Structure 1
Amino acid sequence: MGVKLPNGAIFSVAKTYAAVAVVSAVSNALPAIATAAGHGAADGDIVEIGSGWTALDGRIARADAVTADSLVLEGIDTTDPKRFPAGTGGGNVRRIVDWTQISQIMESASQGGEQQFYNYSFLEDTGDERQIPTTRSARSITLTIADDDTLPHYPVLKAANDDREPRAIRFQLPNGSVIYFRAYVSFSEMPTTTKNEAMTLQVTLSLTGAPTRYAA
């Protein structure tokens, strides 16, 4: 058991990617193993995954037990053949080369992720409805940052906003744990201008898939 404070947490966005490498196959295993000739990754590198498996596509993972033509996707579980039909997980992988910290974050707020339900009852029912869980609502994180266009994150966020291509996001927690996810980046260049308050900008990270967390 334990209670943790977020003070000192750091958000970073992928600035540079290596070339895309074709993944010919992904194993049904825990952890999953991707076969990809010329992937260029080393142990500990962070990679973005494209896959024929919807539940794997867009995930971010740490490479482990790397060989010349394969890499273990640490923490990625593809053992369920219903979600991950054998032989259809191929796609691509690309290594994140460089990260840029999103600095001067003044506020952080998470939205979405709530479980949705389908409620139903039969004509003959006279009591309570029944309920089945369906999907979760789309998740996003809104960061309010102090306005400073001289900081390194400014052009990186602007480029991500303009090209509308998702980026890998790294969220480093004070206890050493790290959470990775992929998200579309929306960046407002118009600062707030409230008298006697810091001018701020908003960054919205719209998640495209499940996050991956690694312990310290």
Structure 2
Amino acid sequence: MAIRLPDGATVAIATGYGAVKAVTSISNASPAVLTSTAHAVPNNSFFELKTPWQKISERIWKAANVAANTLEIAGTDTTDLNRFPASPTGSTLREITAWTQISQILDYQTSGGDQQFWTGSFLEDDYERQLPTVTSAQSITLGIGDDPTLAGYQALKLAGERRDIRALKVTLPDGSVLLYNGYVSFNESPTLTKGQVMQVTATFSLQGRPVRY
């Protein structure tokens, strides 16, 4: 048994991306190896992957065992040919080249991600049954101490205005990392509650499941 406190964790938004690079193949392996000519992604850096393999697409991954034209997608397992049939075409990657810390976070909440079910019964049944369908949309909401001069505030505001998809990185006190990818919305109108710190709200509407290292 092990439990931890999040005290001291830092949160950062991606504020720099490299050029989009074509991925010519992704292997059925654990971890999967992708081929991208002269991708220039450094070892242990993070990148966004888009691929017809939906289960690993629109997520942020770490590059490992990098070579000139290949890299391992750390933490993946694509050996199941039923879930990952044949090497997909039309995949792309883009390296994350810069992060900006979102400081003065007062509240960090997640919502969604729950399994949804079809519920029904046959004519002859006297009870209902359930079949799993999809998981509900997931989002992360940050309450941030209001200070428009902070770099994180400005990065969130810009991403919200552009309706950009941005990566979000949470670094826990033990060095482990949580990675998310989603549309940013930002409400720069602060709360005004007597005796309470003024705060603004940022929301990340996730496009894929989180990745953890």
Fold-level similarity (TM above 0.5): yes
Task: Summarize deviations over 1:162-182 as a string: whole Å, max 9, x none.
Answer: 111211111111222101121
Q: C-alpha separation between the residues in 2 aligned to 1:52 and 1:122?
A: 35
Q: Secondary structure at the match of 2:154?
A: helix
Distance 1:89 1:5, change over 3 A: farther
Offset, 1:157: 0.7
Shift of 1:46: 0.6
Per-residue CA shift, 1:144-195, capped at 9, x if unaligned?
0000011111221111101112111111112221011211111111111122
Query: Would you say the 8 A contact 1:51–1:92 is kept in 2?
Result: yes
Give the share of equivalent positions with the same residue, in percent. 46
1:150, 1:5 → 2: CA distance? Answer: 29
Match for 2:141: what amino acid?
A: T
Deviations 1:32-87 (A, max 9, x none): 11100121111111111111222222111110111110111100122222222212
Write the mapping of 1:28-107 to structure 2, written as runs, cut at 5 A.
Answer: 28-107=28-107
Equivalenced residue count is 213
Amino acid at match of 1:198: V
Partner of 2:139: 140
Please give the alpha-carbon distance, in whole angstroms, between the structure 2 residues aligned to 1:125 and 1:195.
Answer: 58
Normalised TM-score (structure 2): 0.96
- Over aligned residues, Cα RMSD in angstroms? 1.2
What TM-score do you get using the length of structure 1 for normalisation? 0.95
Change (3 A) 1:213 1:62: same
Q: Is the 8 A contact 1:53 1:89 kept in 2?
A: no
| CA distance in structure 2 between the partners assigned to 1:174 and 1:125 by the alignment | 52
Unaligned runs of 5+ in 2: none
Q: Which residue of structure 2 aligns with residue 157 of structure 1?
A: 156
Give, in angstroms, the shift of residue 102 of structure 1: 0.8
- Structure 2 partner of 1:187: 186
Mapped partners of 2:89, 2:7: distance in 1: 39
Matched, 1:21 2:4: no
Match of 2:201 in 1: 202
Matched position secondary structure for 1:97: strand
Tell me, in whole angstroms, the C-alpha distance in 2 between the residues paired with 1:199 and 1:81: 52
